[in-house]
């Protein structure tokens, strides 16, 4: 009898202590709040045989090998904390070798990519042809592209973010950057 009374009392205390008004609510998923400016562009022109529009928040840096100046560029993506490596090549081999090399570089990311979307670039008036690749998922390089005049000149670009490749976390930055890359590709011209 005493044990039953004791157990009943403990059960009553346990139940009454759980009857609070506050219920635990899990925190909702959140994303990094990045305050980026409106998209604004300036023309980039140099001694190299191409021009393009670049976002005002990025800076274009020359890449040289020792004393030798090149038309390769590293584009610092400023507040997005990334870099676009941009390479210029005067073609000495058939175009297919350069295109295949670029596609092979995209294929290296198939293991981690959830999806790879490609978009053809054909601007006959400016003699600009190429492909833009968007790699979705936890990949090291979310955007890659190549452009050519199909006879003599070839450029390629690869974007690397200075962050662990967590697609969900960097997606807002990638969406912003994609707009700027599209502008870059649509304004790229040969001299």
The span from the CA of 133 to the CA of 156, in Å, is 11
Please name the residues in contact with 120: beta carbons below 8 A apart, sequence gap of 6 or more: 130, 131
| pLDDT, tens digit, 9 for 90 and up, residues 50-72 | 999 999 999 999 998 877 889 99
* Cα angle 186, 74, 114; round to 5: 65
The span from the CA of 59 to the CA of 56, in Å, is 8
Give the domain ranges of the chain.
41-190
Share of the chain above pLDDT 70, in %: 84
DSSP state of 21: S
SS3 140: coil
Among the ranges given (20-24, 154-158, 176-180), the one the predictor scored with the smallest mean pLDDT = 20-24
Q: What architecture is domain 41-190?
A: 3-Layer(aba) Sandwich (3.40)
Residue 17 has pLDDT above 90, yes or no: no
């Amino acid at each position: 009898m005493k044990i039953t009374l004791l157990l009943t009392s403990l059960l009553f205390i346990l139940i009454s202590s759980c009857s609070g008004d506050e219920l635990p609510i899990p925190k909702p998923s959140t994303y990094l709040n990045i305050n980026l400016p409106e998209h604004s562009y300036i023309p980039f022109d140099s001694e190299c045989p191409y021009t393009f529009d670049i976002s005002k928040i990025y800076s274009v840096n020359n890449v040289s090998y020792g004393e030798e100046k090149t038309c390769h560029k590293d584009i610092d993506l400023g507040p997005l904390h990334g870099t676009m490596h941009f390479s210029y090549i005067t073609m000495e081999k058939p175009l297919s070798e350069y295109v295949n090399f670029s596609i092979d570089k995209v294929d290296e990311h198939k293991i981690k990519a959830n999806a790879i979307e490609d978009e053809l670039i054909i601007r006959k008036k400016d003699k600009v042809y190429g492909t833009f690749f968007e790699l979705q998922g936890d990949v090291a390089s979310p955007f890659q592209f190549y452009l050519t005049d199909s006879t003599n000149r070839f450029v390629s670009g690869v974007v690397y973010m200075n962050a662990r490749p967590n697609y969900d976390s960097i997606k807002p930055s990638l969406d912003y950057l994609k707009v700027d890359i599209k502008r870059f590709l649509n304004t790229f011209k040969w001299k």
